[in-house]
Amino acid sequence: MSRILLIEDHDRLAHLMCKGLLAAGIAVDVVDRIDSAWVAIQQMPYQALVLDRGLPDGDGLVLLKKVRNAGLNVPCLVLTARDALHDRVEGLEAGADDYLPKPFAMNEMVARVRALLRRPAEFHPIDPSHGDLRLHIESGALFNGDKSITLAPAEMHIMQLLLHKHDDVVRRSALEAAAWGLSEAVTPNALDVALHRLRRKLLAIGSRQRIANVRGMGYALRQADDAQ
């Protein structure tokens, strides 16, 4: 399932949008401010952004410019109550990939998001890899050469983030957000259970990569000889 970030401060509209996107097989995390959106984007390799311009802490284009200045090419659909030509041009120049004025039909919004998710691979890598591992997102299979094993959805999202970060340390909270979203409540040991299963699956396919616990910091992929 694809996962996007919706930055929208109108609760009812955000709820309706989430309902429409989930029905189309698209998972959604929702935040209502620029600062919390930036934190979420740094934690998760989202496949698209849906960004409202009128947010409590400023114009959403401020966030979009920050994303583009950081070298992130995640596709972005900008929503706005403004429909003047110069507003659309301003949004596109800030780095938007598409622009949808309010009010809009939900089926059109969903169609535009799905179009962004079909963007070429250089905008959002489909099958991340690192070391001897490659994750096939469509099938949920983790490969080491010609050996493979199927991952549960939460396991796949965790592995996707670890592979995306290569051997950088990922915080526990970021892995939980990747696996279950920002708004879904999870039990305290849910991540530990998922990591235990992933470690067993790495061994099952003979990978030299290990999920190491970097004490006091988080988790990272490490070669077997370097894993703690």
Give the total number of structural domains in the chain.
2
Instruction: Determine, yes or no, domain membership for 123.
Output: no
User: What is the mean predicted confidence (pLDDT) over 91-117?
Assistant: 90
| 98 and 184 fall within a common domain | no
For residue 74, what are the domain limits? 2-117
- Asked if pLDDT for residue 156 goes beyond 50, the answer is yes
Residue 180's closest CA among 162, 198, 149, 153?
Answer: 153
* Residue of 3, 10, 19 whose CA lies nearest to 153: 3
Domain boundary pick from 117, 144, 166? 117
Per the structure block, which two tokens stand in for 131?
Answer: 């070391």
Same domain for 141 and 104? no
What is the CATH number for 147?
Answer: 1.10.10.10
CA distance 157 to 44: 9
Q: Does residue 154 share a domain with residue 87? A: no
- Residue, of 117 and 178, whose pLDDT is higher: 117
Q: Tell me: pLDDT of 226 over 70.
A: no
Give the domain CATH number at 90: 3.40.50.2300
The stretch 130-143 carries a mean pLDDT of 89
Say if residues 179 and 161 touch (Cβ distance below 8 Å).
Answer: no
What tokens does 156 get? 């796949």
Q: Determine the average pLDDT of the residues in 20-26.
A: 92
Share of the chain above pLDDT 90, in %: 53
Q: In this structure, which amino acid lies at residue 223?
A: Q
CB count in 10 Å sphere of residue 96: 24
pTM (2 decimals)?
Answer: 0.63
Q: Are 98 and 17 in the same domain? A: yes
